[in-house]
Amino acid sequence: MLFKDLNLSQSLLDALDAVGYTTPTPIQEQSIPFILEGRDIFGCAQTGTGKTAAFALPLLQLLEPTEAVKGKRNVRALILAPTRELAIQIGESFRDYGKQSKLRSATIFGGVSQHKQVNQLAGGVDILIATPGRLLDLMQQGFISLQHITHFVLDEADRMLDMGFIHDIKKVLAKLPKNKQTIFFSATVSPEIKVLAGTLLFDPANVQVTPISSTAELVSQSVYYVEKEEKRSLLKKVIEAKNIEHGLVFTRTKHGADRVARELNKFGIRSEAIHGNKSQNARERALKGFKNREIRFLIATDIASRGIDVDQLSHVINFELPEVAETYVHRIGRTGRAGSTGMAISFCSSDEKQYLKGITKLINQAIPEGKLPSKN
């Protein structure tokens, strides 16, 4: 199947062509027809499956005005994202796909001055991408009204709940019109997610791609058993021995991310940490540097890593194993995308062996032990 088989407008097909996309991913192929029909969607899909385009493309088509807009524009589509990085990425997608569109979109998030965002809203916006805190803040100040919303997207709902946004989400939902199309995406389906989806969706179409456990099959994996204090020297050895030019390194804590970045830089390996304590500008700068390969390694915590979408990422390194097995699959799913090969390397200290046990049970496969080339 090609994008042209999905009843998308010529202007959207041209925009897709310009970025080199011709074939939809499974989540796009399943979701786009339902969204164009006006159906609510319950989607189970991880980062990297192409879910942003799965809702951005049909929404741009449904909202496109047939004639010139007269008078003030009202916000008609709201996309709620858990992190600033993801909100920015979604905003970029709407701009890329909507280059020929008459629609205006804006992205709002906390951690930066609201002045520029308020000015953008004052000029009139059709599509609003927002994080919950800043959205509620600007609503309370009277800068945003949700009474004209016809389409609502809740993206990465599981991460929203993990980050404690449930009360903020409920406040937003209370202000939304009853009669609207709702698109709900989550990477995992817990009982809490089912309850939240049940309150939001009417007769939804269920779309699902790649069960959580099978994503791991697409990536070459290895694990190195190492004592905690030896991890940083092992990281340097692995990078050098395997000639890794570019990679994403995961730690469990912000402090740990900073420490690993400092150590790699000391070895002359250009690295940056990305986490919630970094300013928005610092995070954007690090991400940009990583994408254009000025920065070789990005050291990230799990929450900060949502929204990091880098083409042809060859390596993910788990400097510390996550406590939740599903998080491991999210992490390694950032490599080996779109048919390219990917490698996931994990370090496991003695206090992390129970985490490894949970991971191998979830992915239903043993992870082979990594070996460094022996010196002659």
- When comparing pLDDT for 309 and 188, which is higher? 188
Q: What CATH number is given to the structural domain containing 310?
A: 3.40.50.300
Tokens for 68, please give them: 């010139």
Q: Looking at residue 364, what is its pLDDT?
A: 85
Which of 208, 235, 254 is the last residue before a domain boundary? Answer: 208
Backbone torsion region of residue 151, taken as left when φ is above 0, otherwise alpha when ψ lies between -120 and 50, otherwise beta = beta
User: Are residues 156 and 36 part of one domain?
Assistant: yes
Q: Looking at residue 339, what is its pLDDT?
A: 52
User: Are residues 9 and 37 part of one domain?
Assistant: yes
Q: Is the pLDDT assigned to residue 64 strictly greater than 60?
A: yes
Own/partner long-range contacts of 91-97 (Cβ < 8 Å, ≥24 apart): 91/129, 93/52, 93/53, 93/56, 94/56, 94/60, 94/127, 94/129, 96/15, 96/19, 97/12, 97/15, 97/16, 97/53, 97/56, 97/57, 97/60
SS3 108: strand
Which 8-state DSSP code applies to residue 182? E
In the block, tokens 């991310």 appear at: 257
Tokens for 103, please give them: 């629609």
Q: Looking at residue 299, what is its pLDDT?
A: 94
User: Are residues 327 and 248 part of one domain?
Assistant: yes
Q: Looking at residue 47, what is its pLDDT?
A: 66
CA–CA dist 132, 296 (Å, integer):
32
**pLDDT by residue (tens digit) across 240-262?**
999 999 999 999 888 999 999 99
Q: Looking at residue 332, what is its pLDDT?
A: 87
Q: Looking at residue 309, what is its pLDDT?
A: 65
User: Are residues 237 and 313 part of one domain?
Assistant: yes
For residues 159 and 82, the answer to whether their CB atoms sit within 8 Å is: yes
Flag whether 278 is in a domain: yes
Q: Is the pLDDT assigned to residue 127 strictly greater than 90?
A: yes
Number of domains in the chain: 2
**Percent of the chain predicted with pLDDT > 90:** 59
Which of 189, 208, 227 is the last residue before a domain boundary? Answer: 208
The domain in which residue 312 lies consists of: 215-363
Which of 190-194, 204-208, 340-344 has the highest mean predicted lDDT (pLDDT)? 204-208
pLDDT band for position 59 (50/70/90)? very high
User: Are residues 135 and 73 part of one domain?
Assistant: yes
Q: Measured on CA atoms in the order 5, 311, 358, 188, is the torsion positive or negative?
A: negative
List of residues 6+ apart from 255 with CB closer than 8 A: none
CA–CA dist 191, 197 (Å, integer):
10
Q: Looking at residue 376, what is its pLDDT?
A: 45
Flag whether 368 is in a domain: no
Q: Looking at residue 338, what is its pLDDT?
A: 53
Q: Is the pLDDT assigned to residue 13 strictly greater than 90?
A: yes
E strand intervals along the chain: 41-44, 77-80, 105-108, 127-130, 151-154, 181-186, 205-208, 220-225, 247-250, 271-274, 297-300, 315-318, 343-348
pLDDT band for position 63 (50/70/90)? very high
In the block, tokens 């992190």 appear at: 83
* Cα–Cα distance list, 189 to 98, 153, 164, 205, 308 (Å): 31, 17, 17, 15, 22
User: Are residues 261 and 222 part of one domain?
Assistant: yes
Q: Is the pLDDT assigned to residue 212 strictly greater than 60?
A: no
Which of 5-19, 291-305, 330-344 has the highest mean predicted lDDT (pLDDT)? 5-19
Q: Is the pLDDT assigned to residue 180 strictly greater than 90?
A: yes
User: Are residues 220 and 204 part of one domain?
Assistant: no
Cα diameter, the chain: 76
Which of 175, 208, 241 is the last residue before a domain boundary? Answer: 208
Q: Looking at residue 210, what is its pLDDT?
A: 62
CA–CA dist 175, 189 (Å, integer):
25
Mean pLDDT, range 126-140, rounded to an integer: 96
Pairing relationship of beta strands 77-80 and 205-208 according to DSSP bridges: unpaired
Q: Looking at residue 85, what is its pLDDT?
A: 81
Flag whether 372 is in a domain: no
Flag whether 246 is in a domain: yes
- When comparing pLDDT for 111 and 66, which is higher? 111
Which 8-state DSSP code applies to residue 34? H
pLDDT band for position 322 (50/70/90)? confident
* Short-list 113, 170, 118, CA closest to 139: 118
User: Are residues 117 and 244 part of one domain?
Assistant: no
